[in-house]
Amino acid sequence: MVHEGCYAFLTAAFIKWSHACFILSVARTETHQPGRSTVTPTTLLHRLTRWERLNFLLTNRIPRRWATLFMGRFSRIRHPWIKKPCMGLWQFFAGDLRLEEAEKTEFDSMHDCFVRALRPGMRPLDPDPARLVSPCDGIIGAMGETNGTQVFQAKGYPYDLAELLGDDTLAERYRNGSFLTLRITASMYHRFHAPDACQLHQIRYISGDTWNVNPVALKRVEKLFCRNERAILELHLPPAKTGDEPASILLVPVAAILVASIRLYALEYPLNLRYEGANHIPCSTQYERGEEMGYFEQGSTIIVLTGPELTLHPALQEGQTIHMGEPVLNR
């Protein structure tokens, strides 16, 4: 086991190091060629990530489990000789890391930055009670009406709710509803919140793999969300008005490579690759609209599922970046 862990670390470190060296060397070459616009390592990184084979190789063809376990420990190192260079590289290559909204701007470790809180007022809630708000910041990767119990991880790549949820009966309750996939990138705000006043009675945990959940992987790994580690939260909503039937929605936080740890405040322990407890975890937690529910420890995906009584907000579009508190569902 020790040898496998060392191999995972060395493999991941070599790939990341060679990736960075290649980017920097090509950047220097292109920058000094006459007649061409200046190419920085950051812009070149974005170009390289468009090369799907290279992107998939660098972000998936490593020992995913061991790399993820290593990152969970490495990101918590507080020593300034480790923390400062890693934070600098992360900010350099992420490109869009914005910390001006954070409650604090000095962090003890990378993990401390990953799970940062925001200053009050940074994510105002839509005031219309007939709308449910986004539980997180994210990019809309896929959305639409559920065809029976079939949804899509990307265009042309379907999967069935029963496979995602591990429960045929639960899947049937969300037949012919709507789905919304929100991808949280590594630089985004990683905490997620209640989309409306609701109750959580049970958490279902399904152990799994840690494939990357970026668009390249979603077009190469069939039923990816059904393979990865995930939690299933069924939120029971009060009636919108007297006489209405109560509704419910599902939030499915899906883990990914380097981020197989989901922290829910309703539990006293995290759900991660080391978890060996029950798959069905009873709890009784009441949330107010917009109340914080938990966080990912780097970045990943939340899938929102509804029954036919709720519909997607008409202004939503695939590829759109959305913030927690903005409307996503209509009653």
Residue ranges per structural domain of the chain: 2-114, 131-330
| Angle at the Cα of 310 from the Cα atoms of 309 and 311, rounded to 5 degrees | 125
pTM over 0.85: no
Q: pLDDT by residue (tens digit) across 186-231? A: 788 989 999 999 999 999 989 887 777 778 778 888 898 999 888 9
Catalytic pick among 134, 178, 187, 300: 300
193 is catalytic: yes
How many C-beta atoms lie closer than 10 Å to residue 61's C-beta?
Answer: 10
- Rounded Cα distance between 331 and 317, Å, is 19
Query: Mapping DSSP to helix (H, G, I), strand (E, B) and coil, where does residue 269 land?
Result: coil
Q: Is 300 a catalytic residue?
A: yes
In tens, the pLDDT along 255-278 reads: 876 555 778 888 877 776 556 666
List phi, psi (to 5°) of 12. Answer: -60, -45
Q: Which of 134, 193, 196, 209 is catalytic?
A: 193
3 is catalytic: no
Point out the catalytic residue in the list 137, 190, 196, 261. Answer: 137
Model confidence over 150-183: pLDDT tens digits?
999 988 899 999 999 999 999 999 999 999 999 9
The tokens describing 238, both together, are 């009060």
What distance in Å separates the CA atoms of residue 199 and residue 222, rounded to the nearest whole number? 33
Q: Does residue 322 contact residue 137 with C-beta atoms inside 8 Å?
A: yes
